Amino acid sequence: MIQCPRGTRDFLPDEMERRRFYEGKLRETARTFGFREVETPIFEDSELFILRSGPNVLKELYEFKDKGDRSIALRPEMTAPVIRMFVNNMSNEPKPIKVFYFGQCFRYERPQSGRYREFFQFGAEIIGSATPQTDAEAIATASAMLKSLGLKDYRLRIGHIGVLRQRIADIGVPKERTAEVLQKLDKKLYDEARPILADMGVSDADMEALFELTETVGGTEVLDRVPGEAGDWLRQVVSYLDAMGVRDLEIDLGVVRGLDYYTGMVFEAEAPALGAEKQICGGGSYTLSELFGGEKVFSTGFAVGFDRALLALEKEGSSYDFDGIDAYVLCVSDDVRVKAAEIAASLRTAGVSADIDFMDRKMAKALKFASSARARYAVIVGARELEEGCVTLRNMATGEQTQVEIDALAGAIVRARAH
Amino acid sequence: MIQCPRGTRDFLPDEMERRRFYEGKLRETARTFGFREVETPIFEDSELFILRSGPNVLKELYEFKDKGDRSIALRPEMTAPVIRMFVNNMSNEPKPIKVFYFGQCFRYERPQSGRYREFFQFGAEIIGSATPQTDAEAIATASAMLKSLGLKDYRLRIGHIGVLRQRIADIGVPKERTAEVLQKLDKKLYDEARPILADMGVSDADMEALFELTETVGGTEVLDRVPGEAGDWLRQVVSYLDAMGVRDLEIDLGVVRGLDYYTGMVFEAEAPALGAEKQICGGGSYTLSELFGGEKVFSTGFAVGFDRALLALEKEGSSYDFDGIDAYVLCVSDDVRVKAAEIAASLRTAGVSADIDFMDRKMAKALKFASSARARYAVIVGARELEEGCVTLRNMATGEQTQVEIDALAGAIVRARAH
């Protein structure tokens, strides 16, 4: 039996309906904040992702040669494609450009809880603006999205990559080795960082002060301890967020994010319920366009890990009510089947979602099917009632049955739905 | 400058909004007909598509080895994946199972008008039922979908693969060469079919009668000329369609469809406006599940070529009104920016889609941006009005300005939207 490839998933109707419901919430929030949707191809020139993340990214990519011997890769994320799209097609549009996207991304790695080879990201980018308010807008949007899902327990942590970068430069780390140090700090691997820093001639005191800075975590009051321009910037971001009602946040200078391309503010949201794979959202301000052949343009963006966010909702016991259909049309006897088809068609034309038995089932079996299809009403078509221009309308929840004129059927169902 | 790969497209906000609008129409129709959405992975074990379409399909696939040396392929269509999903996960569910899907498919071929390497299909499958009414339901759904798009000029042609298959067997074509003959008939290449049939010892008279059968096209009255069980079947399908109000159809026994796996009714819809690439929908009844390791189950399905359907709408001059945002918040002076952020946040909380200037623009420039963002209202925040708890609300279409209390702002915009 052929299965779906390892690390990928099939979404059956119940699961799919639930996913679309939550996707709709994110979509609605993005639109309310003035973002508009874009879409890019599932695969790109591999070079795009190498330029963004360095050649090491190849290990994790679904990369292959097409029949024209071009190296292409399934997208591992969507910021690089969106910025490529901006450079190709949107660079002359009025700034800022606020776009959102939702779709599959791909990473070749060991599948585990909350980590799939095909996964879904919902993200947003604000392109062409570099103000504290831009950063606040991105964070406020992300925060509103998580709230719109109904997620209760999550932590929003905001940092600034400039603080650590400045300190690292000040204590004598050469520019080309900054990434190496940041990587260790990102994972709080101080014991591994010590010999590296020592090798660069960094003093023990400077090292410990650097680690302490990385551990600067707390409410917005810790901003008083954040030095220089980065501190001023973050204080402005936080004051805008406060005005926008986003106050459930922490300052954490240890938020480094894996990637080299962030230039200033960085932020993450995590859902503690998820354990080791708890990060459900991440973003920050960056420049990428100049790497893809465009002018240098400052942007701020983020992405919500859709699968993990849904997993977090599940762990919180968040429940979702399935939709079902309005009506299921079934026949008392075979001679009314054509008429039943006509009735189903008239319901659908009136906007009533209706299914119909076309497997010639007996009534009891057909009613059972109507129930499994979560129909709110069964429309029972019988020869005797038809003579009077009527059918029997059965409320599937209560079992109550009433005789209804065919012409009044759609109206009766729509009215009941409104209550 | 890195471009998107050949044959793929970026969808910018305007185009994307238009696409989502029409996708929504198809989605709504599918739901109204009692179908529920499913989703399968972007790639599958290559074997799946070879089993469905034969090894020749490899030439057109984006096929590659993953790092575990498994041959995988980007899906060229979604019927095989959906039936695989059914075999794996849904085979014990009550029948029929009515599902729909929408997503990217991939075909490595020469890009041309209406043919892309990454293209979108919207399809539906009814799994586990084999009655004339099942076929009618699929055709009625497809027809309602095309109508829901607002497409005016299209032709719906219904045939039955059994008629030609039976005749081909009757005149002595060996079973293993049936596909070869059908392929020629599908493209009406009679001159190429003649030597092949002669080679099998088919008489000239039988040949010409076969070609005539293939050319049997017309209104439902030609059903009188369709022999055997297939004729009976189609007559029933047509009578159900008639009851459901689907009467704009032709009978065409020359509808063969490219694939071997169709077992009975087959249908196509074409939009003449599109010229050579005019097919916008195709489907029929088939069995596939037994090829994928499941039990043999009869199904009927179809897919709408989403890109081509949209192209046809464009050619018909169908227009779409863009949505825009409700409000754009801008500042008379810099000292009110934090307050403006608060106002924007309150609008969003009230469900009003609002954007805000965060590039510190002067008023005239900000108003110009509001106009390019298709904002219905500009909310102008000034220090003087703020003292009275007010802002200026500017109708962007008429230029009319009124002073509104901040507490009443969201309500004023929502009420205006309702008119």
pLDDT digits (tens, 9 = 90+) for A320-365: 888 899 999 999 999 999 999 999 999 999 999 999 999 999 999 9
Residue at a domain's end among A261, A287, A315: A315
List the CATH number of the domain containing B255.
Answer: 3.30.930.10
Tell me whether the omega of the peptide bond preceding residue B96 falls within 30 degrees of 0, making it cis: yes
Is residue B418 in some structural domain?
no
Query: Where among B315, B344, B367 does a domain terminate?
Result: B315
Range of the domain at A287: 13-315
Local structure of A220: helix, strand or coil:
helix
Contact A348 B245 (CB under 8 A): no
For residue B285, what are its two tokens?
């009844």
DSSP code for A4: P
Instruction: With beta carbons less than 8 A apart as the criterion, state whether B213 and B253 touch.
Output: yes
Question: From the CA atom positions of chain A, what is the Rg in Å?
Answer: 28
Closest alpha carbon within chain A to B63: A66
- Closest chain B C-alpha to A338 CA, distance in angstroms: 6
Task: Measure Cα distances from A327 to A237, A355, B330 in Å.
Answer: 52, 6, 49
Say how far apart CA B67 and CA B70 lie, in whole Å: 7
pLDDT at B243 over 90: yes
In this prediction, residue A166 carries a pLDDT of 87
A5 is a domain residue: no
Q: Which residue has the higher pLDDT, B261 or B63?
A: B63
Residue A77 CA: distances (Å) to CA of A1, A268, B247, B331: 32, 16, 47, 36
Domain membership of residue B336 (yes or no) is: yes
Cβ distance of B341 and A89 shorter than 8 Å: no
Do A335 and A305 sit in the same domain of this protein?
A: no
pLDDT tops 90 at residue B308: yes
Q: Do residue A140 and residue A253 come from a single domain?
A: yes
- Shortest CA gap B16–chain A (Å): 6
Would you call A1 and B292 a contact, using CB atoms and an 8 Å cutoff?
yes
Does the interface predicted TM-score (ipTM) exceed 0.85?
A: yes
**Binary contact (B39, A33; C-beta < 8 A):** no
Sheet holding A249-252, edge to edge: A36-37, A97-106, A118-127, A298-305, A279-287, A262-270, A155-160, A249-252, A217-218
| C-alpha radius of gyration, chain B, whole number | 28
CA distance A30 to A124: 8
Residue B419 located in a structural domain: no
Q: Closest approach of chain B CAs to the CA of A301, in angstroms?
A: 15
pLDDT digits (tens, 9 = 90+) for B75-104: 999 999 999 999 999 999 999 999 999 999
Same domain for B352 and B264, yes or no, is: no
- CATH number for B341: 3.40.50.800
Contact residues, chain A, for B136 at CB < 8 Å: 341, 358
Contacts of A162 (CB under 8 A, 6+ apart): A228, A229, A230, A233, A263, A264
Q: How are the residues of chain A apportioned to helix, strand and coil, as percentages rounded to the nearest 5?
A: 45, 25, 30
Other residues' Cβ atoms within 10 Å of the Cβ of residue B292: 22
Q: Do A16 and B39 touch (CB under 8 A)?
A: yes
Q: Does the residue A4 lie in any domain?
A: no
> In this complex, do A66 and B5 lie within 8 Å of one another by their Cβ atoms?
yes
- Does residue A146 share a domain with residue A18? yes
Q: Are residues B240 and B336 in the same domain?
A: no
CA distance A56 to B285: 48
Query: B67–A108: do the CB atoms touch at under 8 Å?
Result: yes
Backbone phi, psi, residue A91, to 5°: -70, -20
Q: Which residues touch A15 (CB under 8 Å, ≥6 apart)?
A: none
Instruction: Count chain A–chain B contacts defined by CB atoms under 8 A.
Output: 270
More confident residue, B165 or B400: B400
Tokens coding B338: 């934090």
pLDDT in the model for residue B193: 93
For the record, the structure tokens of B119 come out as 């293209």
User: Does the residue A183 lie in any domain?
Assistant: yes
Final residue belonging to a domain, choices B287, B315, B343: B315
- Domains contained in chain A, number: 2
Tell me the pLDDT tens digit for each residue of A275-328.
Answer: 888 999 999 999 999 999 999 999 999 999 999 999 999 999 998 888 899 999
Q: Which residues of B touch A235 (CB under 8 A)?
A: none
pTM over 0.90: yes
Question: Do A393 and A298 fall into the same domain?
Answer: no
Query: Do B82 and B212 have their domain in common?
Result: yes
Interface contact flag, A245 B8, Cβ < 8 Å:
no
Residue A322 lies in a domain: no
Residue B339's alpha-carbon distances to A140, B226, B346, B401, B406, in angstroms, are: 15, 76, 11, 20, 11
Q: Do A98 and A142 reside in the same domain of the chain?
A: yes
Residues B251, B351 within the same domain = no
Q: How far is A150 from chain B (nearest CA, A)?
A: 14
Report if residue B177 sits inside a domain.
Answer: yes
Task: Assess whether A178 and A155 both reside in one domain.
Answer: yes
Q: What is the pLDDT along chain A (419 residues), one digit of tens a residue?
A: 899 999 999 999 999 999 999 999 999 999 999 999 999 999 999 999 999 888 888 899 999 998 888 999 999 999 999 999 999 999 999 999 999 999 999 999 887 777 899 999 999 999 999 999 999 999 999 999 999 999 999 999 999 998 888 899 999 999 888 888 888 888 889 999 999 999 999 999 999 999 998 998 998 889 888 878 889 999 999 999 999 999 999 999 888 876 667 889 999 999 999 988 899 999 999 999 999 999 999 999 999 999 999 999 999 999 888 889 999 999 999 999 999 999 999 999 999 999 999 999 999 999 999 999 999 999 999 999 999 999 999 999 999 999 999 999 999 999 988 76
CB-CB contact of A332 with A380 (8 Å): yes
Q: What residue of B is the nearest CA neighbor of A340?
A: B243
* B77 and B208 belong to one structural domain: yes
A21 and A151 inside one domain: yes
Distance from CA of A80 to the nearest CA of B (A): 11
